Chain A
Amino acid sequence: MRNRQARTAYLLIAPALILFIGFTAYPFIWSAQISLTSWDGLNAVKKFVGFQNYINLFSDAEFRKSLSVTTIYTVSVTLISTVLGFLIALMLQRRGKSSVIYRTIFFSPVVTATVAAAVVWQLLFDPYVGVIDLGLKALHLPGPNWLSDTHWALPAVIIVGIWKRLGFAVIVYAAGLSSLPTSCYEAADLDGVSGWQKVRYMTIPLMRPVTTLVLITGFIDAIQVFDHIFILTSGGPMGSTNVMSLLLFNQGFKLFRLGYASAIGWTLFMIILALTMLQWQIRRRHE
């Protein structure tokens, strides 16, 4: 009986498992091996170089810059979109009636192909004819060169990143908020608890599982960002928006330094692993 169970179970898992092994597990392990070589993807020869790629990585100024750019981008987009998403969901809930219009507006960026949106944002950010700078100048504020300015290019791509991510946070929080038990809130009202206190001591703790979900998925999403930055700045100017996935792409597919690029990929993974473990520990300690 047990054997038949096991057999059926494995048959059921087989489709997913085969794809997982073939297209995730195997490439994952293979990329580790590639990262220990100086392969260029063109010749059959793969020279083993040990950890040289990793050593080169950390002594390379371009990589260190990319690391800091990726960190700033990830933290900014994840935190801001999560907090803002929560606040908007709260506001929407306070309105009482569900609003199809607002939901559509906020979720539209999520369903838009990032590349198409980036093409539009590129023109919006144009220092000469873009409406953003035109609007700023109309308010007598300075309009920076955005995508051409080494100080403003990263904020610009962060803005687009938040714009893209916000709707997801709003919808998820809205769903979570709508399934909260009203009994606690009624009791709080009777006790004369203020609105802000309700949010701080009741809503936020109750929303913790949702917050964890939004933060972790947001973090994993943001750290691998590629699409809109590729279109908007290609990592420039002067590497000020050169996130790690872009660096990996250019090293691997333009300069054919596959070993080096794979080392970048593995570094990215290590960071995600470390921070997710950290999140896990923090969560465990809270409980």
Chain B
Amino acid sequence: MMRTFKKISIRIADHFALIAISSVVILPFVWMITTSLKPPKLAFAAPYLIPTHFHWQNFVNAWQEAPFSRYYLNSIIVAVLVTFGQVFTSALAAYAFDRFEFPFKKTLWFTLLASMMVPLPLLVIPSFQIIQHLHWADNLAALIIPRCWSAFGILLLRQFIHSIPRDYDDAAKMDGANTLRVIWTVILPLARPAVATLALFAFLFAWNDFLWPLIVLNSPEHFTVPLGIANFSGKYGTRWTLLMAATVSATIPAVVAFLAMQKSLIRGLASGGINE
């Protein structure tokens, strides 16, 4: 009897706690959406969290005044290419580290792991000089190519590939497949959860990236979404409803995309060797 009472009260407490915390977490989104739909002079008037006006003109103006479609295109191009790059280079390297023996293997492995501790701000100064020498300044190439590898990706994929029996490799080889074929037809499909996890991390990293694009890019037509938003705050000055329409445009599609990808993400994380 006491037990069930305890169980129910814990259940209720959980409920309240979850609702309270998630309300705080979702607050910025709700306020952002509501404000973006208000006519300009009502930006800071009540109601704050429930949209009662639907001034869609804000979105029209926001998109007209700054090339949002351009920012999105740039962000997507960069994020997709970086994701492919990281998955490709990591899969190849991870397979090599797990299935092969070669000189300096241990040293290379530890160096790669150690590189995860190097803070990005440390690298930006010399990296910017390198970019200028390569004449990649103000070019999307500077955002993509340096990021097409990931120590975390190699680590993650190696662990997963380790759990795939070599028999599969051998079977494919007997059918005449070379190494690349083996990776593409056998390993990657089996490692899908880990690959999906890596892909998500890579995509999010490239999508969110701000400091490096801030340093490297100048022309607005090359801007990614974060840079576009940062630039806006100056452009829009006191037109907050317009600014909110801009941030809604920048954030909501990403959230919707996550909703669509949820299931595979959770599966990927769960089977990605989380518990080591």
Contact = CB atoms under 8 A, between A and B. Distances in A.
A contacting B, Cβ–Cβ less than 8 Å = yes
Interface residues of A, number: 93
Nearest to A167: B25
Interface string B236-275: 0000100110010011001101110010011001110011
A113 B255 contact: no
Contact of A94 (B14, B21, B208, B229): B14
Most buried by B among A106, A116, A119, A231: A116
B118 A119 contact: no
Contact of A95 (B14, B96, B210, B215): B14
A5 B102 contact: yes
A115 B230 contact: yes
Given A209-B275, A209-B276, A104 B258 contact: yes
B64 to A, nearest CB: 19
A51 interface: no
Given A115-B210, A220-B119, A213 B274 contact: yes
Interface in A81-103: 84, 88, 91-92, 94-95, 98, 100, 102-103
Contacts of B121: 224, 226, 244-245, 248-249, 265, 268
A166 B274 contact: no
A90 B53 CA distance: 39
A13 interface: yes
A56 interface: no
Nearest to B103: A6
Interface in A210-228: 210, 213, 220, 223-224, 226-227
Chain B interface size, as a band, is: 35 or more
Interface stretch (A16-24, A57-65, A149-157): A16-24
B258 A124 contact: no
A258 interface: yes
B127 A272 contact: no
A187 interface: no
B270 A6 contact: no
Binding site of B, secondary structure by majority: helix, strand, loop or mixed? helix
B258 A117 contact: no
A107 interface: yes
A161 interface: no
Nearest to A106: B25
Interface stretch (B55-63, B146-154, B167-175): B146-154
A26 to B, nearest CB: 8
A54 interface: no
Binding site of A, secondary structure by majority: helix, strand, loop or mixed? helix
Contacts of A176: 270, 274-275
Nearest to B101: A5
A141 interface: no
A55 interface: no
Contacts of A106: 22, 25
A167 B266 CA distance: 12
B125 interface: yes
A8 B25 contact: no
Contacts of B271: 179
A227 B251 CA distance: 15
Given A120-B247, A195-B10, A224 B130 contact: no
Interface in B43-100: 43-44, 48-49, 88-90, 92-93, 95-97, 100
20 contacts: A6-B102, A8-B100, A9-B105, A12-B100, A13-B93, A20-B149, A24-B115, A28-B122, A91-B17, A94-B10, A94-B14, A111-B207, A115-B230, A120-B247, A210-B274, A248-B122, A252-B124, A261-B125, A265-B122, A268-B119
Given A115-B227, A120-B28, A175-B266, 7 more contacts: A20-B149, A34-B126, A104-B259, A108-B25, A123-B31, A248-B122, A265-B123
Interface of B: 6, 10-11, 14, 17-18, 21-22, 24-29, 31-32, 35, 43-44, 48-49, 88-90, 92-93, 95-97, 100-103, 105, 108, 111-112, 115-127, 129-130, 145-149, 151, 154, 179, 204, 207-208, 210-211, 215, 225-227, 229-230, 232-233, 240, 243-244, 247, 250-251, 254-255, 257-259, 262, 265-266, 269-271, 274-276
3 shortest A-B CB distances, which residue pairs?
A: A265-B122, A129-B44, A12-B96
